[in-house]
Chain A
Amino acid sequence: MTGFSTLLYKELLRFWKVAFQTILAPIVTAMLYLLIFSHVLEERVQVYPGISYTTFLVPGLVMMSMLQNAFANSSSSLIQSKITGNIVFVLVAPLSYLEFFSAYLMAAVIRGVVVGIGVGVATVWFTDLPLMHPLWLLALTILSTGILAALGIIAGMWADKFDQLAAFQNFLIMPLTFLSGVFYSIHSLPPFWQATSHWNPVFYMIDGFRWGFFGHADVAPGLSLLVVAACFVAISGFTLLLLKRGYKLRH
């Protein structure tokens, strides 16, 4: 247990030491999105009755920031350790693959949540956000950031250079998050793209998260939770399998 808690502590300390880049910068980015989109679309778009566009936008931005930072934390930590070679210090220690997974995952989830709280707090000056189902939000936050944290571990293990990691981020994570309904309801899309969106697990994370605030969603909230939980189990299981085999970590 000490091994796990130490690795978790080390991972938390790692991103905390560069909090300007890992916490503050994503909060500023989310605020820029909010300022620009709400300024342009506030008067033109109303997705749910009685809810302004800015209010509609905030939960999506919070979730998007959490997901991107959870992914960034585990993936960048792993690839940096691999490239600089200091991953060896973790690998020679008597840590199980489960401890390794849990520590990297939890650190990434915590960074995601800290950024999410930061974005949420920063938006209180712009909108009055209702909070209808806090426990639901908590469950969806942990499961969703957990999925991206696990994907980050896979990407960090798979990539041999930063270029490959950037490809994973730009061609998989970014399209999935941007095309998930952060800035719009999928009901505003043509039927083909509506149907396609249902194959995007990030859509269920955003939609279910939004339901936790407003009690409104594009699909049934139970379905969102089910899809997200199933994805979490499947991706975590796959990550654990790779770690057990020492994929690209132990030759």
Chain B
Amino acid sequence: MTAALKVAGLVKQYRQARALDGVDLEVNQGEFFGLLGPNGAGKTTLINILAGLAQATEGSAEVMGFDVVRDYAQSRRALGVVPQELVYDPFFTAREVLRVQSGYFGIRRNDDWIEHVLHNLGLTPHADKNMRTLSGGMKRRVLVAQALVHKPPVIVLDEPTAGVDVDLRQTLWQFIRSLNQEGHTVVLTTHYLEEAETLCERIAMLKQGRLVALDSTRNLLSRRHEHQAQLKLDGEPPVSLGLRHGQGGCWLFGFQEYAELETLLAGLRTAGVKVFEMQLLEPDLEDVFTEIIQSA
């Protein structure tokens, strides 16, 4: 099956900086895919190349098998991008913006789908208001609607929930999940790692323009070498046991093998320190992300 997105040897060189340094990546059709990385990692540059907003210095990029330069019309029809910045046209209402955007993609009489998108994003009461008068959250919803107006098989969301309220997040993810279940491929970049952990089946991590990890979310989570135990004690443990202060008066113990826990408990017993409570902490994506980015 044709990959939803495919980039090969992608390089983007600005005058001083190398924003992308030979990235190879494939996203399968129907996937919910996460693209993570610290600021300046090259995520937005990669998205811009896919959307035709930037030109690659080297390498190739395809959307649904269409080269973004040679077959730009088909590749752009296959892609819907929600940009990171909160941009809008102050001359028009939300509904006008969506009708115009449909027209850009060669779609006339798209009102039924526009109504569907407006309804699902909670925009119906605001559809005929000028964009200038909408709140930041509402403008963000219109941006999402604009990206979906031509029913693209691939949807790219570049930090869509940055600075927005819980209500929008829930509405947005509910709608995007339903689109994904209908077969749309979704690529998400976000700094809210719990979102990526919950939503994405596979995750790629970028650092300084290079791909430093690409795996299923489950495999990435199991990649973390160090487990952690959180303990509540009745006194100060000996320094030699390697415990460090955690939150709420708790102590944290990092270990590789479970046998190390026995050694710890024996050490505490010998020191006369009682254990009131012990809890094993599951690694989350934030730990994995930090570990991978720091070691890359």
Contacts and interface: CB of A to CB of B under 8 A. Distances in A.
Report if A and B associate in a common complex. Answer: yes
A94 B87 contact: no
B83 A6 contact: no
A15 to B, nearest CB: 9
Nearest to A14: B91
Contacts of A7: 103-104
B55 A250 contact: yes
A181 B96 CA distance: 43
Contact of A85 (B79, B87, B91): B87
Contact of B104 (A13, A14, A84, A95): A95
Given A94-B73, A94-B77, A251 B53 contact: yes
Given A2-B103, A5-B103, A17 B146 contact: no
Given A2-B108, A7-B104, A92-B53, A84 B73 contact: no
Nearest to B87: A85
A3 B104 contact: yes
Contact of A93 (B88, B90, B105, B108): B105
Given A246-B55, A250-B52, A251-B55, A90 B87 contact: no
A86 B52 CA distance: 15
A10 interface: yes
Given A250-B55, A251-B55, A92 B91 contact: no
A9 interface: yes
Interface string A1-27: 111011101100110011000000000
Interface residues of A, number: 28
Question: Which of A10, A18, A94, A95 has the most chain B CB within a 10 Å cutoff?
Answer: A94
Contacts of B96: 13
14 contacts: A3-B106, A5-B103, A9-B100, A14-B91, A84-B89, A85-B83, A85-B85, A89-B101, A89-B104, A90-B104, A92-B76, A94-B105, A250-B55, A251-B55
A88 B74 CA distance: 17
Interface string A31-70: 0000000000000000000000000000000000000000
A251 to B, nearest CB: 4
A89 B53 contact: no
Contact of B52 (A3, A10, A91): A91
B98 to A, nearest CB: 11
A6 B103 contact: yes
Given A89-B101, A246-B55, 14 more contacts: A6-B104, A10-B100, A17-B91, A18-B91, A84-B88, A86-B88, A90-B104, A91-B53, A92-B53, A92-B76, A92-B81, A94-B77, A94-B105, A251-B53
Interface in B86-119: 87-92, 96-97, 100-108
Interface of B: 14, 48, 51-55, 72-74, 76-77, 79, 81, 83, 85, 87-92, 96-97, 100-108, 146
A10 B100 CA distance: 7
Contacts of A93: 76, 101, 104-105
A96 B74 CA distance: 12
A9 to B, nearest CB: 7
A57 to B, nearest CB: 35
Contacts of B97: 89
Nearest to B102: A6
Interface in A150-169: none
B87 A2 contact: no
Given A3-B104, A6-B100, A94-B72, A84 B90 contact: yes
B87 A250 contact: no
A250 B97 CA distance: 22
Given A2-B103, A2-B106, A92 B51 contact: yes
A10 to B, nearest CB: 5
A250 B54 contact: yes
A98 to B, nearest CB: 12
A95 B146 CA distance: 16
B53 A3 contact: no
A212 to B, nearest CB: 35
Nearest to A8: B103
A92 B89 contact: no
B91 A13 contact: yes
Contacts of A3: 103-106
A92 B79 contact: yes
Contacts of B101: 89, 93
A2 B53 CA distance: 21
A48 B118 CA distance: 63
A86 B104 CA distance: 14
B48 A94 contact: no
B76 A94 contact: yes
A221 B89 CA distance: 43
A95 B101 CA distance: 11
Contacts of B106: 1-3, 94
A86 to B, nearest CB: 4
A237 to B, nearest CB: 22
Contacts of A6: 100, 102-104
